[in-house]
Amino acid sequence: MTEYLLVALALLGVLIIGGLSLVVPRLRRRPQPPLPRTEVDTRTEEDLAGPPVEAPEAELTTGVVVEAPPAPPVEVPQVEVPEPTAGRLVRLRSRLSRSQNVFGKGLLGLLSRDRLDEDTWEEIEDSLITADVGIDATREIVDRLRERTRVLGTRTGDELRALLAAELVNALDPSLDRSLRTAPKEGVPAVVLVVGVNGAGKTTTCGKIARVLVADGRSVLLGAADTFRAAAADQLETWGGRVGAETVRGPEAADPASVAFDAVKRGIDTGVDTVLIDTAGRLQNKVGLMDELGKVKRVVEKHGPIDETLLILDATTGQNGLEQARVFTEAVNVTGVVLTKLDGTAKGGIVIAVQRKLGIPVKLVGLGEGKDDLAPFDPAQFVDALLGTEPLARDA
């Protein structure tokens, strides 16, 4: 009996030991709950956080490739085809509406009075001076008009209108050469330097000229020598990008002369037709600005002479702008004036004053903020637009 009992006990012992051996390892494998932190806890943050989670490489790459949304289609920049320049001044003539009120309605109204007495001539003079024609030019125009109406005995509205138009065209000196020198010579690109006070419209005009040139089948490179503001180079690059023109720019606050030099070098290397260089125009330190422009000119001319230096003038600044303009003509050899914002002023007569005071032809006029709102300047067409007369009727 005791034997049976012993055997039974032995079996029971074996069973208990076997069972334990199965259960204990499982218990051991259970994750340990983190120990509460105590003041004597010596574990580091890393211990507490556990081992760093490392995503398996294969999974990461395949995950991205498989699950990422399809890549957006590569955008091919759309190169725009700008408007042709021929006839732009005629198309944009309505933009001169404010000036048209002074010249067309005002002056022509005065001239069509029954009696052209002293008072009327004085009013005519005042209108021209108000339109920023300038005192000297106004005197000359009015004196000649008075003389011709007296000699010719002109009285009809049409005749007086024709006489006034002829005098205004004459005051704009139609014999001046207004062509832009933008054609390459013997495979070397033409270099055009653009200068003017800040806000005059330099960058915009560079962009508009680039469009004109591209429309004429030329290749263009832009040089962002306005390193004063980073945004200036971005602005220029945007204009260039639209017509597929490369922009050379330097780091912010780089030496403008070295950027201009690099731009011309790049233009020579890539064989473009024209390099347009935009410059800074801040006026806080006039002497500094003029020194800087003088340096840009000298450094660029190591590659060869600059073909065209355009002074950008804001028509709405009137006679004040003329004083600033003179400073530029002393620093660089200005070969042409671009009068911008003529759409925003009643003082269209500033064109006459600018040419007279500076002795430099107005070559282009800006007539709006639109991409193609820049027109070659033509005295006869301009006067027709000012007076509200039909160019075709006059030419006929």
Ligand X SMILES: Nc1nc2c(ncn2[C@@H]2O[C@H](COP(=O)(O)OP(=O)(O)OP(=O)(O)O)[C@@H](O)[C@H]2O)c(=O)[nH]1
Number of residues that bind Mg ion (CB under 5 A): 3
Please give the backbone phi and psi of residue 160, each rounded to the nearest 5 degrees, phi first: -65, -40
Q: Which does 344 bind (CB under 5 to 8 A by kind): Mg ion, ligand X, none?
A: ligand X
DSSP string, 186-253: TTBPEEEEEE-STTSSHHHHHHHHHHHHHHTT--EEEEEE--S-HHHHHHHHHHHHHTT-EEEE-STT
Please give the backbone phi and psi of residue 337, each rounded to the nearest 5 degrees, phi first: -110, 140
Instruction: Extract the tokens encoding 126.
Output: 């005042």
The footprint of ligand X (CB under 6 A) covers 196, 198-204, 226, 232, 281, 340-341, 343-344, 366-369, 373
Q: Which does 134 bind (CB under 5 to 8 A by kind): Mg ion, ligand X, none?
A: none
Q: Which does 138 bind (CB under 5 to 8 A by kind): ligand X, Mg ion, none?
A: none
Q: Is 202 annotated as a binding residue?
A: yes
Nearer Cβ to ligand X (132/167)? 132
Q: Is 278 annotated as a binding residue?
A: yes
Q: Is 101 annotated as a binding residue?
A: no
Segment (H or E) for 363: strand 362-366
Q: Which does 199 bind (CB under 5 to 8 A by kind): ligand X, Mg ion, none?
A: ligand X
CB of residue 362 vs ligand X: minimum separation in angstroms?
13
CA distance 5 to 10: 9
Query: Which residue of this chain has its Cβ atom nearest to ligand X in the complex?
Result: 366
Cβ-proximal residues to 364 (8 Å cutoff; 6+ apart), any chain: 180, 205, 209, 310, 336, 338, 339, 374, 375, 376, 377
296 in Cβ contact with 280 (< 8 Å) = no
Q: Is 203 annotated as a binding residue?
A: yes
Nearer Cβ to ligand X (213/289)? 289
List helix spans (H) across 39-156: 45-49, 57-67, 88-91, 97-100, 108-111, 118-130, 135-152
149 in Cβ contact with 335 (< 8 Å) = no
Nearer Cβ to ligand X (204/309)? 204
Return the residues of window 182-221 that contact Mg ion according to CB under 5 A: 202-203
CB of residue 285 vs Mg ion: minimum separation in angstroms?
17
CA distance 119 to 367: 34
CB of residue 233 vs Mg ion: minimum separation in angstroms?
9
Nearer Cβ to Mg ion (160/232)? 232
Q: Is 342 annotated as a binding residue?
A: yes
Q: Is 358 annotated as a binding residue?
A: no
CB of residue 200 vs ligand X: minimum separation in angstroms?
4
Q: Is 343 annotated as a binding residue?
A: yes
CB of residue 281 vs Mg ion: minimum separation in angstroms?
7
Instruction: Extract the tokens encoding 287.
Output: 């002497």
CB of residue 303 vs Mg ion: minimum separation in angstroms?
23
Beta bridge partners of 221: 246, 275
- What value does the CA radius of gyration of the chain take, rounded to a whole number of Å? 39
Q: Is 247 in the site for Mg ion (CB under 5 A)?
A: no
Q: Is 207 annotated as a binding residue?
A: no
Nearer Cβ to ligand X (184/321)? 321
Nearer Cβ to ligand X (141/346)? 346
Nearer Cβ to ligand X (124/232)? 232
CA distance 356 to 353: 5
Q: Is 190 annotated as a binding residue?
A: no
Which residues carry a binding-site annotation?
196-203, 278-282, 340-343
Residues at the site binding Mg ion, with contacts judged by CB under 5 A: 202-203, 232
Which residues carry a binding-site annotation for GTP?
196-203, 278-282, 340-343
